[in-house]
């Protein structure tokens, strides 16, 4: 059965010999007319899954590696305003957990943004920017919906 199969796989794929020669067995692709940038860290497992999803669905995108290029405070503040600083801040990561308690205590927007600018590993990954619409984290259904909506 091919990924993206939209019918009863046992019945249909048996008829097609397991090949993806039927239209519905081919991976769904999304024609791109918008600008897509994915922000994160190259070796992050979640980033790898998100980039693989974009590749499998024919989505052209630019990749911004926080480790190589960093992120400026103004952009991070704009994102915090758009989606909330709590949505951007990665409390589960080892970088945040390794901070001294004094840095974790009384964490507010300004302090969180300063920490994320200084250590981009503290930004939840990935951040996907589709013509200014931001998606934080990777959920395949959320990506499919965003691209299906954006191509109308």
Confidence band for 98, pLDDT divided at 50, 70 and 90: confident
Asked if pLDDT for residue 5 goes beyond 80, the answer is no
8 Å CB contact between 65 and 43: no
pLDDT at site 16: 47
Bridge partners (DSSP) listed for residue 127: 39, 136
* CATH number for the domain running over 32-150: 3.40.30.10
Q: 45: Cβ–Cβ under 8 A, 6 or more apart, which residues?
A: none
CA distance 31 to 40: 23
Tally Cβ neighbours within 10 Å of residue 83.
15
Respond yes or no: is residue 25 known to be catalytic: no
Asked if pLDDT for residue 140 goes beyond 70, the answer is yes
Instruction: Please state, for a pLDDT cut of 70, what percent of the chain lies above it.
Output: 76
pLDDT at site 130: 94
> Rounded to 5 degrees, what are φ and ψ at 18?
80, 0
Asked if pLDDT for residue 30 goes beyond 70, the answer is no
Q: Which member of 5, 13, 25, 44 is catalytic?
A: 44
Q: Which residue ranges make up each domain of the chain?
A: 1-30, 32-150
Confidence band for 10, pLDDT divided at 50, 70 and 90: very low
Predicted structure pTM score: 0.73
CA distance 48 to 50: 6
| Burial letters 9-29, b for 16+ CB under 10 A, else e | eeeebeeeeeebeeeebeeee
| CA torsion angle 67 73 74 77 (round to 10) | 100
């Amino acid at each position: 059965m091919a990924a993206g199969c939209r019918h009863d796989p046992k019945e249909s794929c048996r008829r097609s010999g397991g090949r993806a020669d039927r239209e519905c067995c081919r991976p769904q692709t999304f024609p791109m007319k918008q600008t897509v940038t994915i922000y994160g860290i190259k070796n992050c497992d979640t980033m790898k899954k998100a980039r693989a999803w974009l590749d499998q669905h024919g989505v052209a995108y630019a990749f911004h590696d926080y480790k190589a290029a960093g992120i400026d405070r103004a952009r991070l503040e704009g994102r915090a305003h758009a989606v909330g600083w709590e949505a951007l801040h990665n409390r589960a990561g080892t970088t945040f957990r390794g901070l001294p308690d004094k840095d974790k205590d009384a964490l507010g927007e300004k302090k969180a943004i300063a920490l994320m600018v200084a250590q981009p590993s503290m930004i939840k990954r990935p951040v996907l920017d589709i013509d200014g619409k931001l998606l934080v984290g990777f959920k395949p259904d959320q990506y499919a919906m965003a691209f299906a909506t954006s191509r109308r």
